[in-house]
Copies of this chain bind each other. A is one copy, B any other.
Amino acid sequence: MERLEERLMRPLNIALVGLGVIGGSFAKGLRAQNVIHVNLLGIDTNAATIQRALDERIITQGETSNESILQQADVVIISLYPDDLVDFIQTHQDAFKKGAIITDTVGVKGSLIQQVEAILRPDVDYIFGHPMAGRENQGYEYAEAGVFHGANYLLMPRPRNQQANIDKLELILDAIGFRRITHVTPEFHDEMIAYTSQLCHVLAVALMNSDRHDRDTASFVGDSFRELTRIAKINDELWAQLFLYNKESLLESMAAFETEWQAMKQAIQTSNSQDLKEMFRESTKRRSSLEQTDLKLNIARNVAP
């Protein structure tokens, strides 16, 4: 992160609001860069989490509700549940330092952005974002510096965002290890996330719950089942909010899935081997293309670190 430090030119106070598995991973990822001029400050309602982050020297200052941290922060990274995010802005925005860069990591954007922008002070620069990585376990103890390494990041710049601030935020994200940062509209973000993330969680939960209770399923599982159900271990409060904030897009994604599902079901019912094979070849082509894209980016990153 020397490059980051050089380009930032002066000490930087970064406040992390919410030190759960996501906020904690941001903190650890930043601390792992070992830049003395970046100070990490943490706010979390859980006093034990604050103490642990202080003990581990991940943060240099911590508070269970804001007293003096937001006032010093040049950058504020908020990792709260959707419902809590709006509350937090409403309650604490007077404490933000003038000109501060605010960002959040919440997985839905459309209506949330409208709510935030309707109440936001005009002299701070709020840049909406979303890291495309996480862990199925919740809490600071599952946070790791490496969670975001090589992951996608989505930014939803708004007309009033300053380019210099977007650049600064991207430097920070790059330093943590995000590999590919994409700018999108909030609407497109929500549409894509409904497919790449939320639909996956619906599938995993329904798959896990469709088992019968009287079977010793553990003796029959292989890697596929383990992989498809990892995210069936799910933070119920968080994901109920995420699904319902993005209900319309999620239902559209589910409808698109149902079309493919029905086509497969019909091919199986009618023993139509040719149709099945065609679907398999199509999914193989698509998955291979995804792997190629991932591979190219890894190579690019290795060539020019």
Contact = CB atoms under 8 A, between A and B. Distances in A.
Interface of A: 132-134, 151-152, 154, 180, 182, 192-193, 195-197, 199-212, 215-237, 239-241, 243-244, 247, 250-251, 253-254, 256-257, 259-261, 264-265, 268-269, 271, 273, 276-277, 279-284, 286-291, 293-294
A196 B220 contact: yes
Given A200-B207, A243-B268, A243-B276, 8 more contacts: A133-B222, A182-B216, A209-B282, A211-B286, A229-B290, A236-B276, A239-B280, A240-B280
A253 B193 contact: no
Contact of A208 (B205, B230, B286): B286
Contact of A220 (B182, B217, B288): B182
Given A192-B217, A230-B287, A251-B268, A202 B239 contact: no
Interface of A is mostly: helix
Contacts of A215: 192
B205 A264 contact: yes
Nearest to A256: B210
A286 B212 CA distance: 11
A11 to B, nearest CB: 33
A228 B265 CA distance: 19
Most buried by B among A180, A260, A269: A260
A180 B292 CA distance: 35
30 contacts: A180-B219, A182-B216, A182-B220, A192-B217, A195-B211, A196-B220, A197-B222, A197-B225, A199-B210, A203-B207, A203-B228, A204-B283, A205-B260, A206-B257, A206-B261, A208-B286, A209-B286, A210-B253, A210-B259, A217-B290, A218-B290, A226-B290, A232-B283, A233-B287, A234-B284, A235-B280, A237-B277, A240-B277, A243-B276, A254-B265
B237 A288 contact: no
A200 B220 contact: no
A97 B118 CA distance: 81
A211 B282 CA distance: 11
A218 B280 contact: no
